[in-house]
Amino acid sequence: MKLKSFSCFIGLLIIFFYSPLISEEKVDIWENKKEVTKESSSLQEKDSQEISNQPSSKSIKAVDEVQIQESSTIQLNEQKVFGIYDPANYDFNLNMWSTTKAEELRSSLKRLSKIELSSASKEILEAILFSFSYPPPGMTEKEFVDLKINWLIDNERTELVESFLKQNDQFDSKSKAVEYLVNKNIASGNIKKGCEKIKFIDEKIKDAYLEKFKIYCLVFNNKKPEAQLLLDLLREQKQSNKFYDDKINFLLGVSDQTSSKINEKNLLNFYLSSVTIADFNYEPTNKTKPEIWTYLNAANLIKLEDASDKKKLKELEIAANNNQLDKNKIFEIYKQIPFNLNTLINAKNNYQTLDDSDARALIYQKYLLSDSNESKIETLFLLEELFKKNDLDNIFSKFLSDKIEEIGIENLPQEFKEPALSKIVSDEELLLGKVKYNDKILHQSKILKYYIDGESKAKVQKDIDKIFKKIAKNKKYFISAKDLALVDALVTDGFSLPTNLKYDDLIKEFDVPKNLLQLVDNDQRAFLALKIVEIIGEDEPYQLDSETIFFVTNLLNKTNLVTIRNKVLNSALPKRI
Q: Are residues 467 and 480 in the same domain?
A: yes
Residue 68 has φ and ψ, to the nearest 5°, of: -110, 115
Q: Which of 425, 449, 468 is the last residue of a domain?
A: 425
Has residue 45 got a pLDDT over 60? Answer: no
- Interatomic CA distance for residues 231 and 233, integer angstroms: 5
Q: Which residues of 322-346 are buried (b: 16+ CB within 10 A; e: fewer)?
A: eebbbbebbbebbeebebeeebeee
DSSP string, 410-426: GGS-HHHHHHHHTT---
Residue 147 located in a structural domain? no
In this predicted structure, what is the pLDDT of residue 506?
Answer: 83
In this predicted structure, what is the pLDDT of residue 489?
Answer: 96
Q: Are residues 198 and 284 in the same domain?
A: yes
pLDDT in tens, 106-120: 999 999 999 999 999
What is the pLDDT averaged over residues 427-438?
66
- Interatomic CA distance for residues 279 and 307, integer angstroms: 20
CB 231 within 8 A of CB 240: yes
Instruction: State the alpha helices, DSSP H only, in 155-190.
Output: 158-167, 174-187
Q: Which domain holds residue 72?
A: 2-77
- Count the neighbouring beta carbons within 10 Å of the beta carbon of residue 481: 19
Has residue 21 got a pLDDT over 80? Answer: no
Q: Which of 47, 77, 107 is the last residue of a domain?
A: 77
Residue 536 located in a structural domain? yes
* Residues linked to residue 335 through DSSP beta bridges, in sequence order: none
Among residues of the chain, what percentage have pLDDT more than 70? 85
The per-type count for the chain, helices as H runs and strands as E runs, is 29, 4
Q: Are residues 295 and 285 in the same domain?
A: yes
Q: Are residues 176 and 267 in the same domain?
A: yes
Confidence category of residue 64, pLDDT binned at 50, 70, 90: very low
pLDDT in tens, 255-292: 999 999 999 999 999 999 999 999 899 988 888 999 99
Confidence category of residue 149, pLDDT binned at 50, 70, 90: very high
Domain count of the chain?
Answer: 4
Q: Are residues 438 and 569 in the same domain?
A: yes
Confidence category of residue 432, pLDDT binned at 50, 70, 90: low
Residue 392 located in a structural domain? yes
- Count the neighbouring beta carbons within 10 Å of the beta carbon of residue 149: 21
pTM of the predicted model as reported, rounded to 2 decimal places: 0.72
Has residue 570 got a pLDDT over 50? Answer: yes
Residue 330 located in a structural domain? yes
* Residues linked to residue 575 through DSSP beta bridges, in sequence order: 436
What is the pLDDT averaged over residues 134-157?
95
Has residue 503 got a pLDDT over 90? Answer: no
Residue 331 located in a structural domain? yes
Top pLDDT among 509 and 51 is at: 509
Residue 129 located in a structural domain? no
